Structure 1
Amino acid sequence: MKKTNAARFLDTKKVNYELVEYLVDEADLSAVHVAETIDQNVEQVFKTLVLRGNANGIFVAIVPGNAEVNLKKAAKVSGNKNAVMVQMKELLPLTGYIRGACSPLGMKKSYPMFIHESCLNFETIFVSAGKRGLQIKIDPQDLIACANIRVCDLVNV
């Protein structure tokens, strides 16, 4: 298994994590499918979403796999009046990652990051390792600390 930028980032920070491989279904790249494939609770499998705010530009929202980001909440916590998801064609140039493999770790540039507060309900959560078919299992506190992520409410109730 080849190390990804996300895994190398964690190695440089000396953070404990585990790489978890799974079989990719190109027709279903959803976090719900990933959770089912790795036999985990979908609330513990977090998806990384890249957004653009009207005032502060690009930022990242990390939300549970079964949730939808609330754009108004995301805009507010990031210091914007409104926010939209970036277009899929922008994902690779902005982050270095493709859809279905966007990790909050090891992006091309450092963007403000926000994670939904439910991550603190678990000993470990899963985020993309930066490659389809590979997840990082990590203590949410370690993830928050090593990547300077702000914990807040980001999803629709």
Structure 2
Amino acid sequence: MSKTTRATQALERLGVKFTVHAYNYDPDASSIGLQAAQALDVPPQRVLKTLMAEADGKPVCAMVPSDCEVSMKKLAAAFGAKTAKMMRPADAERLTGYHVGGISPFGQKKRVPVAIEEAALGHASVFLNGGQRGLQVELDPNDALKAAGAIARSLVA
């Protein structure tokens, strides 16, 4: 497995310090984020899943702890929208250039507004998808916020 992806290249270009962690990706896992946390032996609240959604029909990205569900109401409010819904997987793949299970908030083909769960900023480091299945990057959550050009909001139900 290559440890160089568009996501890692984007972080390097921005001068962000990060560590790459590879793990055995289970395509049959009921929760990709929880499976990653278990494989890496880290608490699930430190492994953030990258979710692609639509707020008032416009694409957005959310980073939330893998053991939480995103609140569509809070997600919509974070982007000043009335409604939000999850994006269809095929649309998410086309928009980001990544495969579902490997979508990173960094280095997406098209830049979209991004929000991170504000509680994640309390950790010394968090894990986010590194741009391919079975690859996570560990970094300071404040660096993730800046690198993704994100806003910090309460996003979970």
TM superposition shift of 1:75: 0.3
Structural RMSD (CA): 1.0
Note the residue ranges of structure 2 that are not aligned, 5 or more in a row.
none
TM superposition shift of 1:2: 3.6
Letter matched to residue 147 of structure 1:
A
TM-score by length of 2: 0.95
1:11-22 matches, within 5 Å, as 11-22=12-23
**Who is 2:87 aligned against?**
86
Distance between the aligned counterparts of 1:147 and 1:120, measured in 2?
A: 14
Following TM superposition, the consecutive aligned residue runs of length 4 or more in structure 1 with deviations greater than 3 angstroms are none
User: SS at the partner of 1:130?
Assistant: coil
**Who is 1:67 aligned against?**
68
Distance between the aligned counterparts of 2:92 and 2:60, measured in 1?
A: 12
Q: Percent identity?
A: 33
TM-score by length of 1: 0.95
**Who is 2:11 aligned against?**
10
Distance between the aligned counterparts of 1:147 and 1:26, measured in 2?
A: 26
Note the residue ranges of structure 1 that are not aligned, 5 or more in a row.
none
Distance between the aligned counterparts of 2:88 and 2:44, measured in 1?
A: 25
User: SS at the partner of 1:20?
Assistant: strand
User: SS at the partner of 2:131?
Assistant: strand
TM superposition shift of 1:25: 1.0
1:141-156 matches, within 5 Å, as 141-156=142-157
1:45-56 matches, within 5 Å, as 45-54=47-56
Structure 1, 14-23 or 28-37: larger mean CA deviation: 28-37
